[in-house]
Structure 1
Amino acid sequence: MTQSAITPDRAGQGRTLAVVVVGLAAVVVAMLCAFALPSIHSGPHDIPVGATGPQAATAAVGKALAGEEWDVTTYDDEKALKTAIEDRDVMGGIVLAQGRITVYTATAAGAQSAASLTGVVTALAKQQQAEVTVTDLKPFPADDPKGAGFSSAALPMIFGGMIPAVILSRLFPGHAGLRLRLAGGVAFAVVAGFAVTAMLQYGTGSLSGTYWLTSLGLSLGMAALALTLLGLESLRGMAGFGLGAAVIMLLGNPLSGLAGGPHWLPDGWATLGQFLPPGASGSLLRANAFFDGTGAGSPALTLGCWVLLGLALILIADRRGLRRGTTDQPAPEAQLV
Structure 2
Amino acid sequence: MPRQGRPPLLIAVLIGVGIVVAQALLVPLFAAPAANLGPRDLPVVVAGPAPAAESLVAHLPPGAFEITRAPDAAAADALLRDHQAYAAFVIGPTGPAVHTASGASPTVAQLVGQAAAGMNAPVTDIAPGSPDDPRGAGFASGFLPLALTALAAGAALALLVRGHWARFAGVLVFGVLAGAVAPLVLQQWLGVLTGDYLLNAAAIGLFATAVAGTVTGLGAVAGRPGIGLAVLAVFLVGNPLSAVSAAPELLPQPWGAVGQFLPIGAGGSLLRSTAFFDGAGAAGPAWVLLAYAALGLLLALAGAVRTRRPTPAQDPAARVPAAL
* Fold shared per TM-score above 0.5: yes
Partner of 1:244: 230
Asked if 1:42 corresponds to 2:37, the answer is yes
What residue number does 1:150 align with?
Answer: 139
Q: Which residue of 2 aligns with 1:118?
A: 113
2: CA distance, partners of 1:319 / 1:146: 49
Residue 165 of structure 1 deviates from its aligned partner by 1.7
State whether structure 2 residue 316 is matched by structure 1 residue 331: yes
Matches within 5 A, 1:98-247: 98-125=93-120, 132-173=121-162, 177-247=163-233
**Offset of residue 146 of structure 1:** 2.2
Aligned-residue offset at 1:328: 4.7
Secondary structure (helix, strand or coil) at the match of 2:260 reads helix
Q: Give the stretch that moved more between structures: 92-101 or 53-62.
A: 92-101
Residue in structure 2 matching 1:61, options 56, 62, 70: 56
Note if contact 2:43-2:66 (Cα within 8 Å) is conserved in structure 1.
yes
**1:266 offset after TM fit, Å?**
1.8
Higher helix share: 1
Structure 2: runs of 5 or more not aligned: none
For the Cα contact (< 8 Å) 2:249–2:256, is it kept in 1?
yes
Shift of 1:100: 2.7
Which residue of structure 2 lines up, in the alignment, with residue 73 of structure 1? 68
Corresponding residue for 2:288?
A: 302
Distance 2:157 2:105 in 1: 36
**TM-score of the two chains, using structure 1 as the length reference:** 0.88
Give the root-mean-square deviation of aligned CA atoms: 2.3
Q: Return the offset for 1:226.
A: 0.5
Q: Is the Cα contact below 8 Å between 2:238 and 2:263 reproduced in 1? A: yes
Q: CA deviation at 1:225?
A: 0.7
SS of aligned partner of 1:72: strand
Change (3 A) 1:315 1:169: closer
Compute the displacement of 1:224 (Å): 0.6
For residue 60 of structure 1, report the CA deviation from its aligned partner.
1.4
Count matched residues: 320
Q: Distance in 1 between matches of 2:129 and 2:6?
A: 60
Is 274-283 or 33-42 further displaced after alignment?
A: 33-42
Report the TM-score when normalising by structure 2: 0.92
CA offset at residue 280 of structure 1? 0.5
* CA apart distance, 1:138: 1.1
Aligned partner of 1:276 among 262, 272, 275:
262
Measure, in 2, the Cα distance between the counterparts of 1:37 and 1:146.
22
Relative distance call for 1:10 and 1:304 in structure 2 (3 A) is closer
Which secondary structure does the structure 1 equivalent of 2:122 belong to? Answer: strand
Q: CA deviation at 1:331?
A: 3.4
> Which ranges in structure 1 are unaligned for 5 or more consecutive residues?
126-131
Matching residue of 2:77: 82
Deviation at 1:85, TM superposition (A): 1.1
Report the AA paired with residue 260 of structure 1. A
Amino acid at match of 1:60: S
Matched position secondary structure for 1:90? coil
2:23 counterpart residue number: 28
Q: Is the 8 A contact 1:42 1:265 kept in 2?
A: yes
Distance in 1, matches of 2:318 and 2:18, equals 52
Question: Does structure 2 retain, via aligned residues, the 8 Å contact 1:48–1:71?
Answer: yes
